[in-house]
Structure 1
């Protein structure tokens, strides 16, 4: 029997209709001290929702129109569930449709928009007569339906910006979960504490001992667990939990695949040893780089790296028959996106190291499966993980193989390593490293003509990528000061002789991804 937080904490269930903000809503709820879970609308039957016993429901936004054939939906039972409901954007429109109201195509509202409050309500307590919110919609609610009251409209229109449908059922057209809605946090707090009256008992810092006990209870005496550690916060935190639970029965392995950042292998080993993890260190650089030679397709590179990782860990596992478990640093968004759910028996291969658990019959333990990245960071710090690991920027499993476009060569790896290190050093010097989500340099096969030492030079183009994000699911490019970008570019072209041109990536996610491939 594994631990499920909703058995001990008031839970808010976020029903996702495919909007990019579903996890952001969930995280905002947790930021207010309330445990939340995300459920895709395809699983949100009345029976499934009641089984979770939520204290409140939030219906997320989504890219569809409620009047389209086969539009995402749930049944009208949501209006009679007996718990408070808040619909956001698409969820707002869906509630109106279910209540017999009308949703129509409008001119669209995107970005900062002013709304005008028409009446007082506990949901909008503390709001002024007019407030700025963040909109992103083309359709709008023209009438709220049975028993509905209009609480607010968009300035200069009859678009319903907020409505109440009976006792405790609300819809808002705007996004209270994004920072651009200035009093969005207050609205969510009003919904949670004034309308739903949930108890704010969720605090990850106090859960370390619970997680340690859970792992200890899953692995029988005489059996061992294998933990693959990359040096990132997720795998390191999972390893610390497993080590404290199992002692010497936790087999920690750190593989150097030759695609790490500058000085990373030494830094990670020192940190892991400092935490008492005593990792088995395997330098498989030559094995990985040899297999990647001549490979240019990015998906093939990922598959090769994943396959070799699995082979290395399989060799370790087969060397000790008492290894019967695999501990992974899977986080909550990974679980939801893979189609698995916390507490379920099945584990999707997406979360496994190349299918290793299936081949060897290993049981899978995921101590972080209920947590978001920022929660893992706080949990890590509470466990004594150094800030250098706990606050470290995310790094892809295939390493620099995805930051080198085209074939992975020693020269391009050297360029990517040194250029990325310069980017990180300059961000730290400016006091900005901990304020951005990721920062790195990318190199490909394109060349640019330059002049170095009064002589013509043909060199690489390096692209700097620095993004701001809260969970990696959406991201915005960081508006760095021009003089900081200039220092980065000057140092890269001066200190990395193979480079003559530096560019800066200014595309958000979506439509782009954070990593190039």
Structure 2
């Protein structure tokens, strides 16, 4: 956990797909938040000394035999608590309320009426829209409770215990579909928990530099560069802390975008005085990927080969005892069932685990507590180039997971050229900073077309663009039709082997942002 002297909010995870989003919303209000297991002990909570506790949602029913539960002593700690969805049902049940299945399940946007005299809904509109997602709800409350909000199907959409600082909402204030949700969370933090809001990026930089110096001492650190903002900020922070005792290794795995390897090398040579080792390993990776179509196998092969290449180069760097990685908070949580809780792994992350043990190095992860947009703020504060700080996220396995099916040199060439056109056109249209992530995907199918006077049977490119603040949830971006038309026309006319372009209009969830 973070330094106990800093104010924090603990989020007890009951398997919610939105647990990270709750944490992100709290941090947006300048309060540090940390996701912990619902199995956390009372002693651990007291040691952490949080200003408040949030009980997350979850897929279970509180009356089910093996439903996840927290220590019931939590309600007697005198720490303000906010229960969300499952967290509401569990907290209310522990305090004597009755929870049952509803006759009419609520899912999606729902009209809700608030008691704006309550601290939780202070300065909000009395009637608003909230996002519901539940099949159970509180149906009976003890006299110690009061209702703070209701919908047509949910008489207790929000409640408060009269004697304890226990608040609960049946809806999800953390999602963007609840327009006043951030205000509700802010009210909990400032009006109920009494937070001061000391979670700022400038102070984080100072603290991180100090911690790196303390951990590394007089040792040397090796950092793997990918060209993305995460590894760049990691390198910049460590360089600020230890100067020329940092060596960076950039592995060109042949799965990067057009000219990206050259840009990475140029950027770091121009902006840093760092010992940079650039390795051309394109053929090695392509050989290992030959015939592989399963996305998880691709990830593991790429991760394993990266380790092998990295090890070979790292051995040439004398006196290095530490390995730096740009691991982010979502990487840590998504890579394992959350804190021993019921959350399942969505996909593996090649930058979490494995490499330090292989090399016998101690791990340095200065971004481990951060979300992506917090990393960007640090990058700006450190003076990194704008085009690097705001570069759209690019997956560790690179274009291998944007090629559905086998990865080959010809297929990589097709995708690189298509992707280049997509990025060029959204930049020309002034959309790049408005879109959180945009890219092309090569599909594993061919379709009939007519090019000139001849029939063609060629590849399909899908274009994916999303808008999001946290990458936990995302909406598809409405690229103007005239821009899409230019993108489609250019790809079909300029990229040999493509005769059809489609546009992905899926949200996350249920889809993910990447296709594999």
TM over 0.5: yes
| Structure 1: 5+ residue stretches without partners | 343-348
Deviation at 1:340, TM superposition (A): 9.8
Counterparts in 2 of 1:152 and 1:356: CA distance versus 1, 3 Å: closer
- 8 Å CA contact 2:246, 2:275 repeated in 1: no
CA distance in 2, matches of 1:383, 1:230: 18
Deviation at 1:33, TM superposition (A): 1.0
Do the aligned partners of residues 264 and 170 (structure 1) sit closer, same or farther apart at CA in structure 2, a change above 3 Å counting?
same
The counterpart of 1:185, out of the listed 182, 192, 200, is: 182
Q: In structure 2, which of residues 13, 19, 22 is the aligned counterpart of residue 25 of structure 1?
A: 22
The residue aligned with 1:199 is 196
Tell me by how many angstroms 1:350 deviates. Answer: 5.9
Does residue 153 in structure 1 map to residue 150 in structure 2?
A: yes
Distance 1:33 1:354 in 2: 30
Q: Is the 8 A contact 2:476 2:507 kept in 1?
A: yes
Question: 1:390 Cα deviation (Å)?
Answer: 1.0
2:202 pairs with 1:214: no
> Alignment length, in residue pairs?
505
Per the alignment, residue 344 of structure 2 pairs with: none
The alignment partner of 1:279 has SS state of strand
- The 2-side partners of 1:507 and 1:374 are apart by 23
Question: Would the aligned equivalents of 1:444 and 1:461 in 2 still touch at CA under 8 Å?
Answer: yes
Distance 1:50 1:212 in 2: 28
Q: Which runs of 5+ in 2 are unaligned?
A: 340-347
Residues 67, 103 of structure 1: 8 Å contact kept: yes
TM norm structure 1: 0.93
Give the whole-Å Cα distance in 1 for the aligned partners of 2:362 and 2:165. 43
| Contact 1:293–1:407 (Cα < 8 Å) also in 2 | yes
Partners of 2:170 and 2:297 lie apart in 1 by: 43
Pick closer, same or farther for the CA change 1:187–1:471 going to 2, 3 Å. Answer: closer
Does the Cα contact within 8 Å between 2:131 and 2:175 map onto a contact in 1? yes
What's the CA shift for 1:149?
0.6
Query: Cα offset for 1:459?
Result: 1.0
The residue correspondences of 1:236-251 to structure 2 (distance < 5 A) are 236-251=232-247
Say whether the 8 Å CA contact 2:116–2:125 is kept in structure 1: no
Call closer, same or farther: CA 1:105–1:486 in 2, change over 3 Å: same
The residue aligned with 1:53 is: 49
Q: What corresponds to 1:87 in structure 2?
A: 83
Greater Cα shift, 119-128 or 260-269? 119-128
Greater shift, 53-62 or 129-138, is seen at 129-138
Distance 1:340 1:448, change over 3 A: closer
Which residue of 1 is the match for residue 98 of structure 2?
102
Contact 1:116–1:153 (CA under 8 A) maintained in structure 2: yes
State the alpha-carbon separation in 2 of the partners of residues 67 and 432 from structure 1.
Answer: 48
Aligned to 1:378: 377
In 2, the alpha carbon distance for the partners of 1:97 and 1:499 equals 58
Q: Which residue of 2 aligns with 1:511?
A: 510
1:283 to 280, 285, 290: 280
CA distance in 1, matches of 2:113, 2:205: 45
Structure 2 contact 116–122 (Cα < 8 Å) conserved: no
The whole-number CA distance in structure 1 between the counterparts of 2:179 and 2:317 is: 56
1:494 maps to what in 2? 493
Compared CA separation, residues 380 and 450, structure 1 to 2 (3 A): same
User: Does the 8 Å contact 2:350/2:396 carry over to 1?
Assistant: no
How far, CA to CA, are the matches of 1:191 and 1:513 in structure 2? 31
Change over 3 Å in CA distance of 1:283–1:92 after alignment to 2: same
CA deviation map 1:26-49 (0-9, x unaligned): 1111111111111121x3222222
TM, length-normalised to structure 2: 0.93
Partner residue in 2 for 1:345: none
2:264 maps to 1:268: yes
- Pair 1:115 & 2:112 matched: yes
| Residue in structure 2 matched with residue 346 of structure 1 by the alignment | none
Please provide the CA RMSD for this pair.
Answer: 2.0
Partner secondary structure for residue 512 of structure 2: coil
Superposition pairs of residues 286-435 of structure 1, within 5 angstroms: 286-339=283-336, 352=351, 355-435=354-434
- Residues 233-274 of structure 1 show CA distances to partners (whole Å, capped at 9, x for unaligned) of 111111111222222221101111111001211211121112
* Aligned-residue offset at 1:118: 4.9
Moved more, 499-508 or 425-434: 425-434
With over 3 angstroms needed to count, the CA separation of the structure-2 counterparts of 1:354 and 1:108, relative to structure 1, is closer
